[in-house]
Structure 1
């Protein structure tokens, strides 16, 4: 699927809608990138193992536990990713507890979007509530779009899986979660971006295998000050030469004296060619005091990443 700009804007906007902008506190300091060796134990890495390899386009992830247990500005950002605006309705009508989940991840294989709400769910309660509200089915509960039931736009298809639940629109491919075949995490470019990002509280990834490229942005609390934010941008390239050129362009755009929006946005920005088969380039740094934690996600939604990444 050729992913279109409007889809990128829609998914990134959903992250921004639930992660309200706020400024960081304290004196900014540079933060070291996460240790890639620790990545497989992180929630974002776990999310990538749950989705099938047929996923294309944007993958959106929000670590709700990290937000809820954080301090300062991060503690104000409790939400549920793409389903955040519908959390109360989902809880009241279908017993889907989005805000009680560990994390949420949204993806698509070119059709309707699906969201995996991981942890904190009661499959029996969800099934009972959904059936009482008109949803029918065995493994998958479904209902046609209905004006009288607005939740059928976001949750026409429901698949409880133990303590988790998959939610999507009409005829959404909920089988993309925990289905047969290779996982999204097995894709070389996706794995390279996962290792590049490390732990992310909020992540948006654009995966376009037919174009041989992928990139992702992530925001996470600073290790020395959980109220502060570290932003990371990672991109894959077809050749080492292309990665070298990109690194130079990113370095120029992120320099303190460069033009807005990236000039001075990150304190002591670090640009690294990580190499590997995917020829990954990474930019990471502590957000400046006047940049909200969601700065990097907002810039992705505007297709205004440094070095012309898009």
Structure 2
């Protein structure tokens, strides 16, 4: 584990950029960027197009370590290069930004009010590749739709089971049990989730580290005590379907919680913009998310 990267994630000011749209969400991300599906003919063309988009974001002068702590990559992005360097190395060596990797294979069908992660039979091989490519940590997502205590317990247990394996491979896992912000019993879901997170953190062996990625809570400051746990490097928040403006407003009311936005980060940037227009739009987005993340 890179100790400089660990210290940056533990105490640095800024937020985590989520650039990890996978196969299922990539066409929509490209469409929002202004690249229609008829612009590419197959999966390889799609991944090439999204890597070009991500490269443009990463290389922008607006995308810098003064405001961004880390960036989450998709596997295909990790395996590609920017200016002749593996993407993770480019992020850290050229930008000073800590690289993470999305490792889950998507969501299973809903059961007991939650969606567990699909099986990850090749996880160990992927973790070895990630370590070889100088990735610092990982991210994996499950979703909570209803306040079902048994379902939430299963989701968090699955996250921590994989999290232990990831940490044993030398990487810091981002554990992400997202609560659906549109759920009718959202506050109860978050109450059950926090209790289960505290229980699971209490069972971790000494020295094991994790990060938590959670929906911005319905009750301001609700996750503050999780930030004080010695196993928790950082607690970050997803935008969860909020507009960037609303996500930033809610985030700013939660001291210590920092952003890990995807769609909200790229909101407004498009393929057809000049470099100046693109950089200005991205810089405005980054600045607003950064300011919301450092409120205390």
Classify the TM-score, shorter chain.
under 0.3
Structure number with higher relative contact order (C-alpha < 8 Å, ≥ 6 residues apart): 1
Q: TM-score, normalised by structure 2?
A: 0.26
Write 1 or 2 for the structure with the bigger share of strand: 1
Larger Rg: 1 or 2?
A: 1
